[in-house]
Amino acid sequence: MALVGTAGTTDLGAIDPLADLAERARHLDAWFHVDAAVAGAFAVSERLGDRLRGLGDADSVTVDFHKLWWQPFNASALLVRDDTSFDLLRVASSYLDRGDELDGMINLVGRSLDTSRRFDAAKVVASLRVIGRIRFAAMIEHLVDLAEYAYRALEDHPVFAPLAAPEGVSVVFDAPGYDPDVLRVVQQSLLERGEMVLGRTTLRGRSALKFTFMNPLTTYHDVDQLISGVATEVTRGPTKS
C-alpha cells in the first residue's frame, strides 16, 4: 500500500501537509510517495523550503525539471530513498545486461522506465553549476512573491475575486459579477491575439482564470498590466442576469 502526497497541485499550487502524511505512512507501514513535479524546486530555497517539510521522509519523489527549474520538457526524475528500489525496474535481457561492463562505466538501463532517452540530466546539472543554488532560489522566490502580490491586487479589485491564497506561483480567480462564459471568451481572445497566455479552469463548480508566473524577469508592474488587461476584456462582456 502507498500513501501519496502532492507538493504543488496543477491548478492552485497547493501543498499537502507532507510531514503529517509521512507520519501517517509510517503508522500504516506504507510506502510514502510525493509528487513534487511543481513545487519540488522550493527545496533549493531556504525561505520556501519549510513549505516542503516532510519531503525528506518520502520513500520516493517525482520532480519535473521543465517547470520551475526551466529545463527541457523531457527532463524529469524519480528520486528514491534506497537505490535498491530501482531493482524493481530491472528486467534482465542478454542484449542489454551483459554483466561484464568495464569498471567505472554506469549502465543506465536500470535507471529509466523507457530505457532509451536523451541525457537530460546533463542539462540540469549544467544549469545548477552555472546559475547556482542561490540564484535559482532567488528566481523562484521572486515568482512566489509575484503570485502573492497578484493575489492581494485581485482581492482589492472591483471586478475580480481570488478563489484561494497561493502557495506557489499560481493564482486562480473569477469575476463574480459577470457571466461565467465571459471568462472563456476572454481567455481565448487574449490568446488568439497573442497578448497573454492565461490559464482557465473550473474550481468548486465555478469557472475561473489563472495566472501562473514562470518568467523570473516579470515585474510587479507587469502584474498590474496583466490584471488591468484582463479586467478591460471582462468588463466588455455581459454581467450575470
User: Is 124 within the bounds of a domain?
Assistant: yes
Contacts 24+ apart (CB under 8 A), 148-151: 149/220, 149/223, 150/211, 150/213, 150/223, 150/226, 150/227
- Let me know whether 112 and 156 are in one domain: no
User: Is 240 within the bounds of a domain?
Assistant: no
User: What is the rounded CA–CA span in Å between residue 241 and residue 227?
Assistant: 24
- CATH label of the domain that carries residue 120: 3.40.640.10
Contacts of 15 (CB under 8 A, 6+ apart): 6, 7, 8, 39, 51, 52, 167, 168
pTM for this structure? Answer: 0.87
- Let me know whether 33 and 112 are in one domain: yes
**Three-state secondary-structure class, residue 31:** strand
- What is the model's pLDDT at position 189? 94
- What is the model's pLDDT at position 119? 73
Cβ count near 43 (within 10 Å): 19
pLDDT in tens, 76-107: 888 999 988 877 766 666 666 666 666 766 66
Mean pLDDT, to the nearest integer, of 21-43? Answer: 96
- Let me know whether 181 and 68 are in one domain: no
Judge whether 68 and 8 are in contact, CB under 8 Å: no
- CATH label of the domain that carries residue 168: 3.90.1150.10
pLDDT in tens, 168-197: 999 999 999 999 899 999 999 999 999 999
Domain edge (last residue) among 131, 154, 170: 131
Pinpoint the alpha helices (H) of 117-180.
Answer: 120-131, 133-155
Kindly report the CA angle at 47 between 2 and 59, in degrees rounded to 5?
A: 15
Instruction: Identify the domain containing residue 121 by its residue range.
Output: 2-131
Q: In the numeric block, which cell numbers belong to residue 31? A: 510506502
**Three-state secondary-structure class, residue 119:** coil
Alpha-carbon 163 to chain mean position = 18
User: Is 239 within the bounds of a domain?
Assistant: no
DSSP letter at 240 equals P
- What is the model's pLDDT at position 42? 97
Helices (H) and strands (E) in the chain, counts: 5, 8
Mean of the per-residue pLDDT values for the chain? 90
Asked whether the predicted pLDDT for residue 35 surpasses 70, the reply is yes
> What proportions of the chain, in percent to the nearest 5, are helix, strand and coil?
40, 20, 40
67 class by beta-carbon count within 10 Å (0-12 exposed, 13-18 middle, 19+ buried): buried
pLDDT in tens, 190-203: 999 999 999 999 98
Judge whether 149 and 227 are in contact, CB under 8 Å: no
- Report the number of distinct structural domains present in the chain: 2
